[in-house]
Structure 1
């Protein structure tokens, strides 16, 4: 599971829990310039976030690890 953080040009920050495949799809959508929109489905809440590519100012991601007991 990954944490994906997205910030738009107007300063609004979003985050989602993304599986490896969902994160790969998001990164592909960001990379291919012919796509106007990117989306990611949050693995935890099951809601889909959709962004216009030109409105994303930055994004970051990292792997979430379970805490050991």
Structure 2
């Protein structure tokens, strides 16, 4: 599981839990210039977030580590 943090140009932060394939799909949506929007599906809530590519300021991601008991 990964956490994806997206910051918009107006300063809003979105944290989304994504699996590897959804993260790759999001990055692909940002790479292909003919696409105006990037969509990402949250693994926890099963909801999709759609961002206009031009409104995304930055994004970062990393693996979520399991807590030890």
Provide runs of 4+ in structure 1 moved above 2 Å: none
Q: How many residues align?
A: 69
> Separation in 1 of the partners of 2:20 and 2:6?
16
Shift of 1:68: 1.3
Shift of 1:33: 0.8
RMSD: 0.5
Question: TM-score by structure 1 length?
Answer: 0.97
> Separation in 2 of the partners of 1:36 and 1:30?
9
What are the residue-to-residue correspondences of 1:20-39 with 2, within 5 Å? 20-39=20-39
Matched, 1:58 2:58: yes
Matched, 1:45 2:45: yes
